[in-house]
Amino acid sequence: DHVINRIAAGEVVERPASVVKELVENAIDAGATRVEVATAGGGKSLIRISDNGCGIREPDLALAVERHCTSKLPEDDLSQIGTLGFRGEALASIGSVARLSILSRHAEEPHAWQIAVEGGRRSETVPASHSGGTQIEVRDLFFATPARLKFLRSDRAEATAITEAVKRLALAHPEIRFTLSGSDRTTLDLSAARGESGALERMAQILGAGFRDNAMPIGGEREGVLLSGYAGLPTFNRANSLQQFIFVNGRPLKDPVLAGALRAAYSDVLARDRYPVLALFIDLDPADVDVNVHPAKMEVRFRDPGMIRGLIIGTIRDALAREGF
């Protein structure tokens, strides 16, 4: 079982940033409005995530770290998954390759409980003290798999990847307050931004204050697929695509179909080697998109990629035309 978990861990947990992604997604699924991420050594020596979500009941703590144990599977129809997690693999995988400790207090428990997993070996669940929500600590990532540890990049590079992961999640959830701190400094402090302007506020926090006045609102619909968000004017561009964020049903994606559509949408108004800054959201029936392609879940398979491409190109070109481009 330890071996299977370690193999699975290779797919779900590639680097510290993937641990941060999985744990923050769990906090979001738990309904948190506040998520704190602290790291040391680029996340290799420590990742600590605290949330004010629903917490985990005592009997569920031991289950949460078991492989394929998830509280999130819909009763009947797998295509109607509404949460970010559903595989029940993240905590088991992390526990198999690191020192994992979970401290949680569910509202209906008289006090908090704690459990630890080290290299796949689980401790007893013991009473603990914690005000509410869940705090998860991951120490010494890949200590149990030294070969994987060798593949990690410098602390600085891993810290940058963590920051990018938190930014992606924060863009999709402006209503949640996020903080990210390294061993010596606070690297992100994103206050919650609610209401109609919330999404644009959060984008300005992450993409730069200039985005507020240099972006076009995007709104389009085709066959029940919705496209929304903001796209930079052609003049608000970068030399790479790092400032392009696309979400499908709330999940951040790097997908060649979408990248190609963006390039085509701006092809008449922007040089080929420039990338407009943007944050776009595609929302569609979960049955029309397969997020099950890869456990890291950064790519998807659309049932009708041509239609998605057409929606993106058409909607952005309309917005550009309205702006006089």
Which residues lie near ligand ADP (CB under 6 A)?
22, 26-27, 30, 51, 53-56, 64, 69-72, 85-91, 134
For residue 244, the partner it binds in Mg ion, ligand ADP, none, with Cβ less than 5 to 8 A by kind, is none
Q: How far is the CB of 55 from ligand ADP (least distance, A)?
A: 6
Residue 34 dihedral angles phi and psi, to the nearest 5°:
-145, 125
Q: How far is the CB of 23 from ligand ADP (least distance, A)?
A: 7
CB 46 within 8 A of CB 65: no
Which residue has tokens 């920051």? 163
Cβ closer to ligand ADP: 19 or 279? Answer: 19
Which residue has tokens 């070109």? 317
Cβ closer to ligand ADP: 71 or 241? Answer: 71
Q: How far is the CB of 91 from Mg ion (least distance, A)?
A: 7
Cβ closer to ligand ADP: 58 or 89? Answer: 89
Q: How far is the CB of 291 from Mg ion (least distance, A)?
A: 13
Query: Which residue's Cβ lies closest to ligand ADP?
Result: 85
Cβ closer to ligand ADP: 35 or 206? Answer: 35
Q: What's the first-to-final CA gap in the chain, in angstroms?
A: 59
Residues that bind Mg ion (CB under 5 A): 26, 85, 90
Q: How far is the CB of 17 from Mg ion (least distance, A)?
A: 15
Alpha carbon 18 to its chain centroid, in Å, reads 9
Task: Report which of 206, 214, 268, 296 is spatially closest to residue 242, judged by C-alpha positions.
Answer: 206
**CA angle 268–320–299, rounded 5-degree value:** 80
Type and span of the H or E element at 62: helix 58-64
For residue 91, the partner it binds in ligand ADP, Mg ion, none, with Cβ less than 5 to 8 A by kind, is ligand ADP
Radius of gyration of the chain, Cα coordinates, nearest whole angstrom: 20
Burial tier of 82 (Cβ tally within 10 Å: 0-12, 13-18, 19+): exposed
For residue 45, the partner it binds in Mg ion, ligand ADP, none, with Cβ less than 5 to 8 A by kind, is none
C-beta atoms surrounding 109 within 10 Å: 15
Q: Which residues contact 217 (CB under 8 A, 6 or more apart)?
A: 230, 319
Q: How far is the CB of 157 from ligand ADP (least distance, A)?
A: 25
Cβ closer to Mg ion: 57 or 222? Answer: 57
For residue 246, the partner it binds in Mg ion, ligand ADP, none, with Cβ less than 5 to 8 A by kind, is none
Q: How far is the CB of 25 from Mg ion (least distance, A)?
A: 5
Residue 2 dihedral angles phi and psi, to the nearest 5°:
-60, -40
Cβ closer to ligand ADP: 175 or 323? Answer: 175
Helix (H, G, I), strand (E, B) or coil at 226: strand
Cβ closer to ligand ADP: 23 or 278? Answer: 23
